Amino acid sequence: MNRPTSQSGAAAPSAADAPEQAPAARPRAAARASGRHAELDLDHFLPYRLSVLSNRVSGAIARVYSERYALSVTEWRVMAVLGRFPELSANEVAQRTAMDKVAVSRAVARLTEAGRLERDTHDDDRRRSVLRLSPDGYRIYDEVAPMALAFEQRLLAGIETAERDALFRLLDRLDELEIQAEAEMAAESR
């Protein structure tokens, strides 16, 4: 009998080889054996809900600055971070935004070419390149930032102050827990 192989090429264990499954895993194994697929209720799956909400909120604001200033969402995020934290490297921008380094690098290149960013070397480390908004970049930032804040106010207008405070506390906690879960998954995959 041919047995399926894993990604490493080794024979995958058969059901007879597998240890006793935890109760939560049994329904999944039964579903696979019967040809059904795992179920993922997207309405109650936090990563999906956060992603959809983020895309909708970002898209609503992006329509304004993309039409007026020909900025992509990634470019605006780079500008927003540098408007608040000047003198960061492209890698530090990527870390602060949790965006892909390649996407940040491309956005930095476009913004620099358009005259919206300036690149210089760090005073203490001449090998380190740092970024800052140019005068034109600050002009755009000073116009877009108030629009973004006004949209946020409109978005949060129906939420009581105590609920807003709780929301931001939960977001901070989720951020901490995501970092912890990511580290645990990385350790498990070693």
Question: Which pLDDT score, from 0 to 100, does residue 94 have?
Answer: 96
Supply 148's token pair.
């973004």
Supply 40's token pair.
């993922």
Residues, the chain: 190
Q: What residue has token string 């959809």?
A: 52
User: Is 23 domain-assigned?
Assistant: no
Read off φ and ψ for residue 38, nearest 5 degrees: -60, 150
3-state secondary structure of 130: strand
Total domain count for the chain? Answer: 1
Domain span holding position 100? 46-184
Supply 22's token pair.
């935890």
CATH number (domain holding residue 92): 1.10.10.10
User: Is 150 domain-assigned?
Assistant: yes
User: Is 22 domain-assigned?
Assistant: no
Kindly give the confidence (pLDDT) of every residue in the chain, 190 residues in length, as a single tens digit, with 9 standing for 90 and above.
443 444 444 444 444 444 444 444 556 666 666 778 899 999 999 999 999 999 999 999 899 899 999 999 999 999 999 999 999 999 999 999 999 999 999 999 999 999 999 998 766 666 778 999 999 999 999 999 999 999 999 999 999 999 999 999 999 999 999 999 999 999 999 8
Spatial separation of the C-alpha atoms in residues 188 and 11, rounded to whole Å: 21
User: Is 3 domain-assigned?
Assistant: no
User: Is 37 domain-assigned?
Assistant: no
Q: pTM (2 decimals)?
A: 0.73
